[in-house]
Structure 1
């Protein structure tokens, strides 16, 4: 693909800026060749190879905060838009490609210092290039008694995932990665350096302990925002527990999901369990009768219950995860069974294994969900593009549709109907969307996640996925549901549904944008926030 210069920037000014970037960071760390810039394309873009694909004009990889400041000041001088990335592994949500074509990617992978890990106060301070694998290995090598909470896969940036509001697998307050961050260091659009919270106080030793400091809290502007480049972040870590155990609950009717979620909410919000994992043995069952049933979005729940009964299968499985002292873990599982029995008398239970810590790397392989004990992997990444009996013709990637829905069984059942509508348009065999419950990764809500297929060789697949995405956004918005993160190519679409009082939130953030970044150089369009001179191009 031909390189796209930043709109409104002359060849002469662009060349001058590149020369100054090279002087600031070293010529080896300014990338302009087509081969290099291919690495900054969104590998999962549904616009791959089209005129609308978002492409970088160049990339620059600073090594220090001072170099980031120089890059920002040079960009201001020539009014060149910048698009910062941490490790660029945000696949399904835009990858390493800029949201605005012609931007220069600021690749922070070289800023990979683990500044501190404290296993007495349970926090880490990291730079943007630190991956979950990096932080995990650092902790393991030093035999520190803390866990990270990581997503799947674990090759992404700890800082970057938090800023994009990623989620993980352990207990609720650690799964919320932005919610468990504490303190930011930011290069502002002017090139000035700022620290938030207690970090704003020189020599404070509580940067990663107390997030608020004094006065307004501004950290939220840098989560999915474009108000600066974050170069350091504190993150709270989970103290290593004595034990971890799982227990499984099985229920026989679709509408049992309503009391099941109510009970689980009581357990989780009371701090007694970690991530609850909802599933169904019918979700991937290949059966002609079930395929016929689930092809009808309005099929009555009773018919689905009767089918499951004939096959001798439960409708829903729920895996509960417990952390803490061994005695507490056992008591909490016993209490959970009592609550479920009171709500669903014919529920079935299966005791899972109990593991104790510290644990060897070999023993960790026996844990069903290794990410649930803070051990990163790449297994989650392999599921989409891998050939299987459910996916005989794997695509080249996917784009995520992921709205937030209420944390009730009623909303969850309705979400399966919405998912069935979306999946019917996708025409993917072997999947039974009426038995694919939303995820509970978000602590106080449920998350409906659909990966729409992407192909580099068949543009019709990409066109269909984008059409389905827009249809799904409409269906969700009608119910008051909206996405919590998205690929930059859909930022304007998602921003448009947050429309209370004539988009008061967006108007407010764009007023802040104009004040803090008058040249509009930091990630224009990210989060649906555009600088004044580009707002006319906002996609409806």
Structure 2
């Protein structure tokens, strides 16, 4: 992790060993140059304090170190952190930053673990922390949407829907209740439900350009009645919504997130795949079922390492950094009762619709694997058995399975959960138990939803990871019907400088090989790895 270059609590200034990227007014891209002079920085800080209040302009060394923390091999240290609480404040801040020629990075809640956390791309930038802009502006039950500010978390929106006894449900990721919604959408993150392709289920971005203009995507409130902008993402002509994703062209302060009417029936399904041939056949089958609409949610294929990554008691058997041998993995699979590949997904609809979908899945998987189906009722019965029957070994295993399936069912049902954050640690759980204290690099290339293509990609990158001394947990998720994101991660001890350098080198080599196969990453880190 990078350390502040200044020796005191005042931000580093020109002449000290700290560089900033300078942004030309009206542009989000940066070029490298020195920081402004001390008088210029002093003037800027005074103006920023006049907008947001002195207590929300953070220049102390401790604050800058906190925002410099990253799970990546290297973090970046900001010049200053500014914490606005309104659209008006953001619109006043942006021209000041452009006038000063300073790079900026907007964050929603700073939980972008494994992709840069709260860090900008270079040292010396201004971090615009939108966490105080956390208002749920509107929830429309009839049209099925929520208007939220950038700092709203998954847990916050879920709790509000619960408080209202809403008939709507949200899509959630495995990043936990504290992670933001807007930030994840802007990075094109994905979840589990039929609304799992999150960036396609939003509209009406409210955003502020570097010169302070406030604009909306689509039709926006400035032209038509609000309902139109909330339910139809396009305006006339080009739609800038996609340009605002994975970019620093402007600061998105608010958006409309579409919510799903809670169906009569939610059924999880899972299956295990023992051979490479079964894996390829299952990928093909799910791809076809997705294209036909039989499965309309995001299915997740997880290899054994991913499936077992949150099982602390099993991972503890193999401490250290050495790559697990085939024998080690086979032992873990036997203990954890998992296969080399394990898949799960969700079915949604009326009871009749879900019943028909189950039949179609059984038919499609005949000769490949026998899918199992589970519902909230099944999990409740299992929980009763675990609590009331004698604690024999079979029931002990059932207890863990029940907890695991309940955690999975929460995600399928739009309930944010912290349980899946444990998997980010793999074999390197920090003493704090906090994600931000582990070494973590996500690597997520896109691949056509064809069995041979997916296998070719994994067979190409896993030996690279092993050669650098990393195991490779893998999840293959068809976010759209015809393509999947192959999510992998490198986990390591962040205090081990050599391992951090190896992680960076491994990432770069895997990326080059994946791109040579026509599989680019769908999402890059905010810092060059």
TM-score with structure 2 setting the length: 0.79
Give 1:488 deviation, angstroms: 1.9
Give 1:237 deviation, angstroms: 1.0
Are the counterparts in 2 of residues 132 and 158 from structure 1 also a CA contact under 8 Å? yes
- Name the counterpart of 1:177: 198
Give 1:325 deviation, angstroms: 0.7
Give 1:457 deviation, angstroms: 2.1
Is it true that 1:164 corresponds to 2:204 in the alignment?
no
- Name the counterpart of 2:292: 270
- Name the counterpart of 2:364: 339
- Name the counterpart of 1:16: 43
More displaced stretch, 450-459 vs 55-64: 450-459
Is it true that 1:425 corresponds to 2:467 in the alignment?
yes
Are the counterparts in 1 of residues 272 and 369 from structure 2 also a CA contact under 8 Å? yes
Deviations 1:162-185 (A, max 9, x none): 0011111112xx111211111111
Question: Which segments of 5 or more consecutive residues in structure 1 lack a partner in the other structure?
Answer: 48-52, 296-303, 357-361, 492-540
* 1:89-100 alignment, distance < 5 Å: 89-100=111-122
- Name the counterpart of 2:29: none
Deviations 1:123-158 (A, max 9, x none): 111100101111111111011111111111231111
Give 1:202 deviation, angstroms: 4.4
Is it true that 1:477 corresponds to 2:515 in the alignment?
yes
Q: Distance in 2 between matches of 1:260 and 1:211?
A: 34
Is it true that 1:149 corresponds to 2:174 in the alignment?
no
- Name the counterpart of 1:208: 230
Q: Please point out which of 279, 286, 295 is paired with 2:302.
A: 279
Residues 117 and 452 (structure 1), Cα distance of their counterparts in 2 relative to 1, 3 Å cut? same
Are the counterparts in 2 of residues 416 and 437 from structure 1 also a CA contact under 8 Å? no
Give 1:214 deviation, angstroms: 1.0
- Name the counterpart of 1:528: none
Q: Distance in 2 between matches of 1:488 and 1:193?
A: 25
Residues 438 and 313 (structure 1), Cα distance of their counterparts in 2 relative to 1, 3 Å cut? closer
Q: Distance in 1 between matches of 2:305 and 2:210?
A: 51
Is it true that 1:452 corresponds to 2:490 in the alignment?
yes
Are the counterparts in 2 of residues 40 and 56 from structure 1 also a CA contact under 8 Å? yes
- Name the counterpart of 1:522: none
Q: Distance in 1 between matches of 2:423 and 2:501?
A: 23
- Name the counterpart of 2:160: 138
Residues 469 and 147 (structure 1), Cα distance of their counterparts in 2 relative to 1, 3 Å cut? same
- Name the counterpart of 2:346: 321
Are the counterparts in 1 of residues 428 and 493 from structure 2 also a CA contact under 8 Å? no
Are the counterparts in 1 of residues 294 and 360 from structure 2 also a CA contact under 8 Å? no
Are the counterparts in 1 of residues 268 and 412 from structure 2 also a CA contact under 8 Å? no
Deviations 1:9-47 (A, max 9, x none): 111111100000001111111100011112211321312
Q: Distance in 2 between matches of 1:465 and 1:366?
A: 33
Are the counterparts in 1 of residues 268 and 409 from structure 2 also a CA contact under 8 Å? no
Residues 320 and 228 (structure 1), Cα distance of their counterparts in 2 relative to 1, 3 Å cut? closer
**Residue 383 of structure 1: SS of its match in structure 2?**
helix
Are the counterparts in 1 of residues 145 and 230 from structure 2 also a CA contact under 8 Å? yes
Give 1:268 deviation, angstroms: 2.0
Are the counterparts in 2 of residues 4 and 101 from structure 1 also a CA contact under 8 Å? no
* 1:391-470 alignment, distance < 5 Å: 396-428=438-470, 436=474, 438-441=476-479, 443-470=481-508
Q: Distance in 2 between matches of 1:444 and 1:263?
A: 12
Are the counterparts in 2 of residues 398 and 453 from structure 1 also a CA contact under 8 Å? yes
Q: Distance in 2 between matches of 1:427 and 1:382?
A: 21
Is it true that 1:373 corresponds to 2:398 in the alignment?
no
Give 1:189 deviation, angstroms: 1.2
Are the counterparts in 2 of residues 46 and 454 from structure 1 also a CA contact under 8 Å? no
**RMSD after superposition:** 3.2
How many pairs were matched up?
Answer: 457
Deviations 1:73-105 (A, max 9, x none): 211222222211111110111011111221111
Residues 380 and 194 (structure 1), Cα distance of their counterparts in 2 relative to 1, 3 Å cut? same
- Name the counterpart of 1:108: 130
More displaced stretch, 266-275 vs 34-43: 266-275
Residues 14 and 437 (structure 1), Cα distance of their counterparts in 2 relative to 1, 3 Å cut? closer
TM-score with structure 1 setting the length: 0.77
Give 1:277 deviation, angstroms: 2.6
